[in-house]
Amino acid sequence: MHFVEVAVPVPLRQTFTYSCDILPEPGCRVSISFGPRNLVGVVTGELTAPENPDKIKAIDKIIDDTPVLDRVLLKLCHWLSQYYLHPIGEVIHTVLPVLLRKGESASPVDEVWWHAADNIDENLAALKRAKRQYACLEALVDEPVREGDLKNTFPSTIINALEEKGFIRQESKPPPLRPKMWLDYFDVAKKPLPDKEQAVAISTIVQSRSRFAPYLLEGVTGSGKTEVYLQAIEDVLAEGRQVLILVPEIGLTPQTVSRFASRFGIDIGILHSQLNDKDRLSVWQRARAGELGVIIGTRSAIFTPMKFPGMIIVDEEHDDSYKQQDGLRYHARDLAVMRAHTENIPLVLGTATPSLETLNNALTKRYGHLQLTKRAGGASKTHQQVLDVRDQRLQFGIADGMLSIMRQHLSMGNQVLVFVNRRGYAPALICHHCGHSYDCRRCERPYTVHRTQQRLQCHHCGGARPIPRQCEHCGENKLITAGVGTEQIEDGLAKMFPGVKQIRIDSDSVRGKDKLQRSLDDINAQKYQLLIGTQILSKGHHFPHVTLVVVLDCDGALFSADFRASEKLAQLVTQLAGRAGRASKPGEMWLQTHNPGHPLLQDLVHNGYAHFARQALDERKLSWMPPFQSQAVIRSEATNGELAWEFLEQVRTLLQSEVVRLNGPLPCLIEKRQGRYRFMLVLQSAQRKAINDLLRRALPNITSLPTASKVRWSLDVDPSDFS
């Protein structure tokens, strides 16, 4: 009789002891009965002497002979559980592909092969008049054929007919494992000669193979970061090792993938959020078997097992989409650091606009710092300027002076990009007579007016209603919109520049499969001259014909309650600037603002992101902010706001501490969402361990607070925003 600890997918911060006759390895799944239910758990370790022998149940079934979580991934799960203070069973549940959570087999599904039965000559003779059946049987004479391949040539009716006659039979067997299969046809296509900075970066990364070595690859847009990745990857692949590449949610385009695939002529594993469970499992299996040399994926791809781990790359490491915003709130970039450390392999964090966390690690020499400062092909930097809009007439949010600059660029046949951070027509609808504002009841925030759908839409909860004709409060017919969104600018510019083809790119306009990609292709084929859009335009796509970028409103971010708002604005502006222009057509960028003298804007515009970020780091240090201080947030929400607040008040008394500063309970930046009031309690300390220790000791008491079960609460370690 053996005893094992099993992690069970329930929100309890403990494992459960089960008995078994055969000892499963840690990382193997087991079927267990848990209370009145049957669940799939994962063995985390052996136990020699259980504490409550009378309570212990036996495992119903061991699902895996070989662990679904190898040593490294299991270790990572433990780290996640301890660092983010999240129940181990739920951690393991999030790490595993959906089908494996449900108990599906972890080994690849058997392949069906067709064999010719005995008496081949005789059978062939009998098929003299059935030409297709004859051909089909003949195809199987020398060797069995995989069903998929056979069906490419012959319809199933032919195959069925032969089977009925007993001339052929099928056999199922597991597909052969082909570890390092890319080495058979791995071939490097023509590659450009790296410039001096690229060459240094490549050789530095390559020299640190086979050991943990984190690097920040800080490369201005157009400096050829991807080429550095490619040449470093080449070396890892040639050694027979695998590379895991993380990309932001929106960056996983067919172009990105084909750039890697065509360079090496190999199969690439792709993992994105829209992949179905079956395909996801298949990539997981092929990566685990060591078949795939390169795996590219979004956030959760960091959990992909690798038989021959060689390197991890996190592209656009500053991107927000690496942070999971519910459940296990991990940061994939931070986890990549841990994973590379445990795998003992190099890690490359690439970006033109490093997060202050990563930049700090590079400046303090915890990470190697590789810099690419030159734009390839001698392309000149987009010239950035601030446009003072004070006292200027604004039409649909654009100053007259700005419109005339736009006219110049358009008349020269160039493309112009207008960035607005708001989709819809206008961010509010109000009555000009009585001042009544149309707010979503559940969120108590103004509805966004969507003219194309003729609806008011709440961007916090997704709720919608028709646009009223007259004021529901005073009955007057004087409803007006306030503020400017993409739709309104589209309308206004269409009237201002009739005959200029324009396209709007926001999450409303690009809904649907491949719509974004088609639109981007059309833009670069110069089917449009005016591009109006949101965030989406700032991510990864290059627009060589754009010579003017207009950013409509910087002011919000300069005075935001979120201390990261200015960092995010600087990243956005820099990324946008990098999208435009090329060697023969240098670009210019204008930032509309009511605060032209604001030091942040001035610094960004005159000295660039690299300088801005270093200044911002100094400021964070002086004001005791991350990354020099660690933070955690406990959020609480309930339809009864007082209850949500009271819970955090009680938590606060449980958390009194010398070394950890408590701030709150405060309303979240989005105070109400979907009918629930939201509050937060912020923990801050110079030592991350102090926060971790404090929370770990207090969690049992927090969980058992009577109010805890009456509110929805969650814990967020290293929060990236306070919404």
Partner DNA sequence: CCTGGGCGCTTG
Partner DNA sequence: AAGCGCCCAGGA
Instruction: Give the interface with DNA as residue ranges (CB under 7 A).
Output: 10-12, 16-18, 32-37, 50-52, 55-57, 709
Residue 440 in marked binding region = yes
Residue 21: CB minimum distance to DNA, A = 15
How far, CA to CA in Å, does 297 sit from each of 229, 258, 514?
A: 15, 14, 17
Of 13 and 614, the one with the shorter C-beta distance to DNA is: 13
SS (H, E, C) 411-446: HCCCEEEEECCCCCCECEEEECCCCCECEECCCCEE
Residue 101: CB minimum distance to DNA, A = 12
Of 10 and 238, the one with the shorter C-beta distance to DNA is: 10
> Which residues, other chains included, contact 551 with Cβ-Cβ below 8 Å and sequence gap of 6+?
419, 573, 576, 589, 590, 591, 592
Residue 7: CB minimum distance to DNA, A = 12
Residue 17: CB minimum distance to DNA, A = 4
Residue 639: CB minimum distance to DNA, A = 12
Q: What region, left, alpha or beta, does residue 377 occupy, with left being phi > 0 and alpha being psi -120 to 50 degrees? A: left
Residue 86: CB minimum distance to DNA, A = 12
Of 273 and 709, the one with the shorter C-beta distance to DNA is: 709
Residue 42: CB minimum distance to DNA, A = 14
Dihedral (CA of 602, 607, 608, 610) sign: negative
Contact call for residues 83 and 39 (beta carbons, < 8 A) = no
Q: Which helix (H) or strand (E) holds 686?
A: none
Of 36 and 466, the one with the shorter C-beta distance to DNA is: 36
DSSP 209-262: TTS-EEEEEEE-TTS-HHHHHHHHHHHHHHTT-EEEEE--GGG--HHHHHHHHH
- What distance in Å separates the CA atoms of residue 634 and residue 206, rounded to the nearest whole number? 42
What are the φ and ψ backbone dihedral angles of 134, each rounded to 5 degrees?
A: -60, -50
Of 33 and 663, the one with the shorter C-beta distance to DNA is: 33
- What distance in Å separates the CA atoms of residue 27 and residue 15, rounded to the nearest whole number? 13
Residue 28 in marked binding region = no
Residue 474 in marked binding region = yes
Residue 705: CB minimum distance to DNA, A = 12
Of 63 and 345, the one with the shorter C-beta distance to DNA is: 63
- What distance in Å separates the CA atoms of residue 451 and residue 454, rounded to the nearest whole number? 5
Pairing label, strands 37-47, 2-7: antiparallel
DSSP 381-392: PPEEEEEE-TT-
What are the φ and ψ backbone dihedral angles of 692, each rounded to 5 degrees?
A: -60, -45
Residue 349: CB minimum distance to DNA, A = 34
Q: Which of 350, 354, 322 is nearest to 612 (CA)?
A: 354
Q: Which of 348, 44, 392 is nearest to 198 (CA)?
A: 348
Of 419 and 647, the one with the shorter C-beta distance to DNA is: 647
Q: Which of 383, 395, 384 is nearest to 591 (CA)?
A: 384
- Helix and strand numbers, DSSP H then E, in the chain: 22, 35
Query: Strand, coil or helix: what is 666?
Result: strand
CB burial of residue 377 (10 Å; 0-12, 13-18, 19+): exposed
Amino acid letter, residue 244: L
SS (H, E, C) 109-171: CCEEEEEECCCHHHHHHHCCCCHHHHHHHHHCCCCCEEHHHHHHHCCHHHHHHHHHHCCEEEE
CB burial of residue 163 (10 Å; 0-12, 13-18, 19+): middle
Of 12 and 670, the one with the shorter C-beta distance to DNA is: 12
Of 51 and 391, the one with the shorter C-beta distance to DNA is: 51
Query: Strand, coil or helix: what is 498?
Result: coil
Is the peptide bond preceding residue 706 cis, with omega within 30 degrees of 0?
no
Residue 36: CB minimum distance to DNA, A = 4
CB burial of residue 250 (10 Å; 0-12, 13-18, 19+): buried
The token pair at 245 is 């590449």
Query: Strand, coil or helix: what is 33?
Result: strand
Residue 703: CB minimum distance to DNA, A = 9
CB atoms within 10 A of CB 699: 15
How far, CA to CA in Å, does 494 sit from each of 409, 502, 503, 564?
A: 16, 8, 10, 35
Residue 10: CB minimum distance to DNA, A = 4
Residue 26: CB minimum distance to DNA, A = 16
E runs forming strands in 546-625:
546-551, 588-593
Residue 55: CB minimum distance to DNA, A = 4
The C-alpha angle 88, 280, 268, rounded to 5 degrees, equals 120
Q: How far apart are the first and last CA of the chain?
A: 51
Residue 91: CB minimum distance to DNA, A = 14
Q: Output the known binding site for Zn(2+).
A: 431, 434, 440, 443, 458, 461, 471, 474
Q: Output the known binding site.
A: 431, 434, 440, 443, 458, 461, 471, 474
